[in-house]
């Protein structure tokens, strides 16, 4: 694990996110082990497979002084490669060439079938699911996948979620960037520039959000003014905005889990969701996801930084 480019990200919430995904992958592989499926682990924002973090060590029980040290922890790719029974295929995509190189070494290290794609996650996922064996292949009906979407920000287009829902054979874990979305929504509609509008329309997959979140209000002191004194103000709260996103997911996936809230400095930054459109499997998926959500939601609230 040494000698690879340093990829530092996250905090205590990251371990909760990765623990939750690992538990689900274990559940999934064990639930499907005696069935005739070809299983894929698909990590579209794969990083390097490692995470460099500052962690506290020492203290009373270790009889050592408390200090902050650099530690290398397993990221999502390595955690997935360690799951038993193994997936039939591991598919990683990543935008940064230096990280792609590291991912390319993982197949040999773990002795697994690993496919690595360099490029934008949305484009690469689209290519994967529009080609054999996912379509146009005699075994296409046997393919099953868990897809993990772990972007830093608002990089997942709603069109990508729609494409994944359309496969009807994949379970999607999505780190929805709640805080980043709310930050794009200026207090006054006049503060929404073209870039903000298009990134919000891309993530929600519609332009209705503006009608839902903003109300026209007469400017103060100009109650009886003409139309041009009317300004649209954001009236939707953070929870209402998050609820709108959840509604949108429910319009394309038959199953949308309760999200696990991931907190940074006591504030909700991300929401970790599981979606699926694999209707016959929903009771089973729900069983695995409910277990994971119940296990990690309290931990997530407790371990929020002060
Ligand atoms: C939060 S990190 C992923 C961490 C990883 N899941 C782990 O646990 O080790 C996000 C990664 O996505 C990559 N990335 C950012 N935008 C991307 C895009 N549009 N397509 C593919 N990869 C992207 C970044 O370079 C970064 O390595």
At which residue do the structure tokens 């891309």 appear?
A: 202
pLDDT at 226: 53
Tokens, residue 192: 């929404």
The CA distance from 241 to 258, in Å, is: 15
Question: For residue 52, what is the enclosing H or E element?
Answer: strand 50-59
The CA distance from 201 to 110, in Å, is: 40
Question: For residue 304, what is the enclosing H or E element?
Answer: none
Residues 6+ apart with CB under 8 A from 97: 118
In the reported structure, the alpha carbon of residue 238 is separated from the centroid of ligand 1 by a whole-number distance in angstroms of 25
Q: Please check whether residue 151 is in contact with residue 160, taking contact to mean a CB–CB distance below 8 angstroms.
A: no
CA 43 vs. chain centroid, Å, equals 10
Ligand 1 proximity of 75 Cβ (cutoff 6 Å):
yes
DSSP labels, 249-299: HHHH-SEEPPPEEEEETTEEEEEEEEEE--GGGHHHHHHHHHHHHHHHHHH
* CA of 10, closest atom in ligand 1: 1
Q: Left (φ > 0), alpha (ψ -120 to 50) or beta: where does 59 sit?
A: left
Nearest CA, atom 26, ligand 1: 47
* CA of 51, closest atom in ligand 1: 9
In the reported structure, the alpha carbon of residue 267 is separated from the centroid of ligand 1 by a whole-number distance in angstroms of 22
What count of Cα atoms within 13 Å lies in the side-chain half-sphere of residue 76?
31
In the reported structure, the alpha carbon of residue 202 is separated from the centroid of ligand 1 by a whole-number distance in angstroms of 18
Q: Please check whether residue 298 is in contact with residue 276, taking contact to mean a CB–CB distance below 8 angstroms.
A: no
Q: Left (φ > 0), alpha (ψ -120 to 50) or beta: where does 55 sit?
A: beta
In the reported structure, the alpha carbon of residue 152 is separated from the centroid of ligand 1 by a whole-number distance in angstroms of 7
pLDDT at 219: 65
Nearest CA, atom 27, ligand 1: 47
Q: Give the Cβ contact number of residue 135 at 10 Å.
A: 11
What is the model's pTM?
A: 0.92
Nearest CA, atom 9, ligand 1: 75
- Residue 186 main-chain phi, psi, to 5 deg: -55, 155
3-class secondary-structure state, position 143:
strand
- Bridge-based pairing state of the strands 64-74 and 50-59: antiparallel
Nearest CA, atom 12, ligand 1: 45
189-197: long-range contacts at Cβ-Cβ below 8 A with a sequence spacing of 24 or more? 189/214, 189/231, 189/232, 189/233, 189/234, 190/231, 190/232
Q: Give the Cβ contact number of residue 75 at 10 Å.
A: 22
**Tens digits of residue pLDDT in 91-129:** 999 999 999 999 999 999 999 999 999 999 999 999 999
What is the residue-level pLDDT of the chain in tens, covering all 306 positions?
445 778 877 788 899 999 999 999 999 999 999 999 999 999 999 999 999 887 777 776 677 777 778 889 999 999 999 999 999 999 999 999 999 999 999 999 999 999 999 999 999 999 999 999 999 999 999 999 999 999 999 999 999 999 999 999 999 999 999 999 999 999 999 999 999 999 999 999 999 999 999 998 776 655 555 555 578 999 999 999 999 999 999 999 999 999 999 998 888 999 999 999 999 999 999 999 999 999 999 877 775 544
Mutate to test the pocket of ligand 1, among 4, 45, 120, 176 (most ligand atoms within 8 A of CB): 45
At which residue do the structure tokens 């007469």 appear?
A: 218
Ligand 1 proximity of 99 Cβ (cutoff 6 Å):
yes
**Tens digits of residue pLDDT in 225-274:** 555 557 899 999 999 999 999 999 999 999 999 999 999 888 899 999 99
At which residue do the structure tokens 């075994």 appear?
A: 139
The CA distance from 39 to 89, in Å, is: 7
The CA distance from 282 to 254, in Å, is: 8
* CA of 152, closest atom in ligand 1: 1
Tokens, residue 44: 């579209």
Q: Which domains does the chain have, with CATH numbers?
A: 12-178+248-302 (3.40.50.150), 186-235 (no CATH)
């Amino acid at each position: 694990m040494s000698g690879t480019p340093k990829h530092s990200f996250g905090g205590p919430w990251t371990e909760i996110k990765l623990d939750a995904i690992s538990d689900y992958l274990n559940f999934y592989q064990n639930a499907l082990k005696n069935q005739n499926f070809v299983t894929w682990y698909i990590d579209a924002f794969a990083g390097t497979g490692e995470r460099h973090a500052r962690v506290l060590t020492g203290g009373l029980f270790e009889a050592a002084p408390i200090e902050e040290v650099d530690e290398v922890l397993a990221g999502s790719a390595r955690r997935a490669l360690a799951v038993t029974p193994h997936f039939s295929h591991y598919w990683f995509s990543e935008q940064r060439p230096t990280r792609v190189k590291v991912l390319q070494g993982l197949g040999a290290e773990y002795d697994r079938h690993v496919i690595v794609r360099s490029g934008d996650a949305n484009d690469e996922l689209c290519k994967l699911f529009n080609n054999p064996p996912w379509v146009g292949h005699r075994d296409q009906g046997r393919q099953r996948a868990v897809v993990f979407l772990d972007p830093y920000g608002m990089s997942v287009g709603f069109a990508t979620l729609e494409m994944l829902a359309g496969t009807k054979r994949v379970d999607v874990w999505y780190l929805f960037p709640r805080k980043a979305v709310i930050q794009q929504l200026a207090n006054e509609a006049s503060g929404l520039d073209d870039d903000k509008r298009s990134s919000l329309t891309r993530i929600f997959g519609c332009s209705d959000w503006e009608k839902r979140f903003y109300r026209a209000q007469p400017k103060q002191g100009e109650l009886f003014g003409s139309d041009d004194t009317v300004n649209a103000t954001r009236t939707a709260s953070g929870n209402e905005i998050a609820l709108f996103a959840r509604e949108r997911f429910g319009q394309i996936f038959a199953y949308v889990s309760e999200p696990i809230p991931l907190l940074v400095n006591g504030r909700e930054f991300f929401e970790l969701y599981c979606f699926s459109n694999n209707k016959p499997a929903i009771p089973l998926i729900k069983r695995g996801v409910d277990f994971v959500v119940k296990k990690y939601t309290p931990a997530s609230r407790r371990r929020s930084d002060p």
